[in-house]
C-alpha cells in the first residue's frame, strides 16, 4: 500500500533528476566549447529557445533537417548540414546560388560572403525547421491518441466504463465541455464549436509538454514561437468574427442605450478591441512559455557562471521547483487560451436579450405592474 503511494513520487523525482542532468550536460557542452571564462549565458539560453535548422541530440550529434528553398531558378532542396561546419558555425553552401545562415535565416550571399539583399528578397524559405518538425510530431501524437480513443468508443460504446486512453482523454474532453464551452457559449451553440476548442486545447497542451522535455522528440520551443501563437490567434479571430451576429456588431458600432455622442466616442474603442483580443491571446501564450524556459535555463547557467558546488546546491532545488510550476503553467496556458476563445465566441454569437420570448414576457409583465 505504501509502495503504491510513493511510486508516483519516485517516478516524478527520477524524471526531474533526469531533466536537470540533461539540461546541465547540454550547458556543459556549450561551456566546454568556449574558452575558460568566456561562457556566454545569453547565447546559450537563446540557442535553446530559438528555432533551428537542426535538432541537437547529444554531444556533437544532431539531426540535420531539410532546407527547402524556392528561388528564381526553381525549387532547391538540401540538408541543413551543408550550411554549417563540424563546429556548427555557418559556412557558404554553393547550390544554384551561394547560401549562408545569417541569424538563423537562409540568405543568398555574394562572392565576398556578404548578404545579397536584392536576391534574398526573391528567396522563399519553406524549410522544415526544428519547430516545424516538432509541430508535425505533436500532430501525429494527437492523431494517434484521439483516433485510438475514438476507435475504442466505437467498439465499446459510450455506456461502458472507459479503459486505457479513453480513461485519460474522457475527463479532459468533459472538462473542456463542462467548464469552458458550456458556460461561455451556451447550451444551444456550444456543440458546433467543441471540435475547434478541443483542437486548440490539445495542440497547445501537447506542444507545451513536449517543450519541457529536453531531449528528442522534445526540446523545441513551439508555443514560445510568435509565429505559432499568431497563427492560432488569427484562427480565433476568423472563427469569432464568422460567428458574430447583428447584436454583436451593434454593440461595437452603435452601443444601445446611450446618447449618440457617447456612441461615436465608444465605437472606435470597441473596434480596436476586436483586434486587441486575438493579439492579447498571441502575446500571453508566447510570453509565458518563453519566460518559463528562460528562467529554468538561467538557473542552470548559474552553475557555470560561479563554477562552484555551492551554486549547484542553490540552483538544483530552484530548477526543480520552477519545472514543477512549468508543468502547471503548461496546462494553465492551454486552459486560458481555450477559455478566452470560448468567451469571445460566446460574446460574438450571443443573442439580444429582447429577442428571447422569456425576456419579452418579463418586460411586458414589468411594464404592466
Q: Quick one: pLDDT at residue 360?
A: 42
- Burial tier of 263 (Cβ tally within 10 Å: 0-12, 13-18, 19+): middle
Domain assignment present for 52? no
Together in a domain, 224 and 99: no
Q: Quick one: pLDDT at residue 167?
A: 81
Q: Of the residues 127, 144, 171, which one is the last residue of a structural domain?
A: 127
Domain assignment present for 33? no
Distance CA 318, CA 324 (A): 10
Total structural domains within the chain: 2
| Residue 183 neighbours by CB distance under 10 Å | 14
Distance CA 223, CA 205 (A): 9
Q: Of the residues 127, 156, 171, which one is the last residue of a structural domain?
A: 127
pLDDT in tens, the chain (369 residues): 434 444 444 444 444 444 544 554 455 455 444 444 466 777 777 777 888 888 877 777 788 899 999 988 889 998 888 888 877 788 888 888 889 988 888 898 888 888 888 888 888 989 998 999 999 999 999 999 888 888 887 887 666 677 777 788 888 999 999 999 999 998 888 899 999 999 999 999 999 998 888 778 787 889 888 999 999 999 999 999 998 888 877 777 777 777 777 778 778 888 888 888 999 999 999 998 888 888 888 888 877 777 776 777 777 888 888 888 888 889 999 999 999 999 999 988 877 654 444 334 433 443 344
Together in a domain, 196 and 282: yes
Q: Quick one: pLDDT at residue 229?
A: 94
Q: What is the pLDDT of residues 69-92, one digit of tens each?
A: 998 888 999 888 888 887 778 888
Together in a domain, 123 and 146: no
Q: Quick one: pLDDT at residue 282?
A: 93
Domain assignment present for 116? yes
Domain assignment present for 337? yes
Q: Quick one: pLDDT at residue 14?
A: 44
Q: Which residue shows C-alpha cell 468574427? A: 241
Provide, rounded to the nearest whole percent, the portion of the chain with pLDDT above 70.
83
Side-chain-side CA neighbours of residue 330 (13 Å):
20
Domain assignment present for 358? no
Q: Quick one: pLDDT at residue 309?
A: 67
Q: What is the phi/psi pair of residue 185, to 5°?
A: -105, -35
What string of DSSP letters covers 130-199? HHHHHHHHHHHHHHHHHHHHHHHHHHH-SSSPP-THHHHHHHHHHHIIIIIIHHHH-TTTGGGGHHHHHH
Range of the domain at 103: 66-127
Together in a domain, 254 and 275: yes
Together in a domain, 113 and 138: no
Domain assignment present for 225? yes
Together in a domain, 123 and 135: no
Together in a domain, 313 and 178: yes
Together in a domain, 207 and 144: yes
Together in a domain, 233 and 151: yes
Together in a domain, 169 and 285: yes
Q: Quick one: pLDDT at residue 16?
A: 47
What distance, in Å, lies between the first and last C-alpha atoms of the chain? 67
Together in a domain, 120 and 254: no
In sign, the C-alpha dihedral spanning 142, 148, 151, 157 is negative
- Please tell me the pTM assigned to this model: 0.79
Together in a domain, 242 and 274: yes
Q: Of the residues 105, 127, 149, which one is the last residue of a structural domain?
A: 127
> Which grid coordinates belong to 315?
540552483
Domain assignment present for 369? no
CA separation, residue 65 to residues 51, 52, 76 (Å):
12, 9, 14
Q: What is the pLDDT of residues 305-335, one digit of tens each?
A: 777 767 777 778 888 888 888 888 899 999 9
Domain assignment present for 153? yes
Amino acid at each position: 500500500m505504501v509502495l503504491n503511494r510513493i511510486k508516483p513520487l519516485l517516478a516524478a523525482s527520477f524524471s526531474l533528476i533526469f531533466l536537470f542532468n540533461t539540461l546541465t550536460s547540454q550547458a556543459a557542452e556549450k561551456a566546454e566549447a568556449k574558452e575558460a571564462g568566456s561562457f556566454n549565458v545569453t547565447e546559450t539560453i537563446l540557442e535553446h529557445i530559438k528555432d533551428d535548422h537542426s535538432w541537437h541530440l547529444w554531444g556533437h550529434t544532431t539531426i540535420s533537417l531539410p532546407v527547402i528553398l524556392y528561388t528564381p531558378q526553381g525549387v532547391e532542396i538540401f540538408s541543413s548540414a551543408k550550411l554549417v561546419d563540424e563546429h556548427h558555425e555557418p559556412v557558404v553552401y554553393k547550390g544554384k546560388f551561394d547560401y549562408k545562415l545569417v541569424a538563423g535565416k537562409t540568405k543568398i550571399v555574394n562572392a565576398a560572403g556578404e548578404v545579397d539583399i536584392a536576391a534574398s528578397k526573391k528567396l522563399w524559405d519553406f524549410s522544415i525547421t526544428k519547430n516545424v518538425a516538432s509541430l508535425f510530431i505533436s500532430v501525429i501524437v494527437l492523431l494517434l491518441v484521439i483516433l485510438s480513443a475514438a476507435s475504442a468508443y466505437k467498439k465499446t460504446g459510450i455506456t461502458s466504463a472507459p479503459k486505457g486512453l479513453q480513461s485519460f482523454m474522457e475527463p479532459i474532453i468533459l472538462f473542456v465541455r463542462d467548464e469552458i464551452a458550456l458556460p461561455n457559449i451556451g447550451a444551444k451553440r456550444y456543440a458546433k464549436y467543441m471540435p475547434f476548442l478541443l483542437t486548440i486545447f490539445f495542440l497547445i497542451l501537447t506542444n507545451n509538454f513536449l517543450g519541457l522535455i529536453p531531449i528528442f522528440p522534445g526540446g523545441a520551443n513551439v508555443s514560445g514561437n510568435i509565429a505559432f501563437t499568431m497563427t492560432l490567434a488569427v484562427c480565433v479571430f476568423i472563427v469569432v468574427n464568422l460567428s458574430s451576429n447583428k447584436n454583436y456588431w451593434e454593440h461595437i458600432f452603435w452601443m444601445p442605450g446611450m446618447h449618440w455622442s457617447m456612441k461615436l466616442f465608444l465605437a472606435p474603442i470597441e473596434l480596436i478591441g476586436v483586434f486587441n483580443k486575438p493579439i492579447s491571446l498571441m502575446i500571453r501564450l508566447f510570453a509565458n512559455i518563453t519566460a518559463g524556459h528562460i528562467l529554468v535555463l538561467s538557473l542552470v547557467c548559474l552553475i557555470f557562471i560561479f563554477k562552484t558546488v555551492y551554486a549547484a546546491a542553490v540552483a538544483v532545488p530552484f530548477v526543480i521547483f520552477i519545472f514543477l510550476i512549468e508543468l502547471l503553467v503548461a496546462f494553465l496556458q492551454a486552459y486560458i487560451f481555450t477559455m478566452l476563445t470560448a468567451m469571445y465566441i460566446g460574446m460574438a454569437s450571443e443573442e439580444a436579450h429582447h429577442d428571447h420570448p422569456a425576456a419579452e414576457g418579463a418586460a411586458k409583465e414589468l411594464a404592466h405592474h
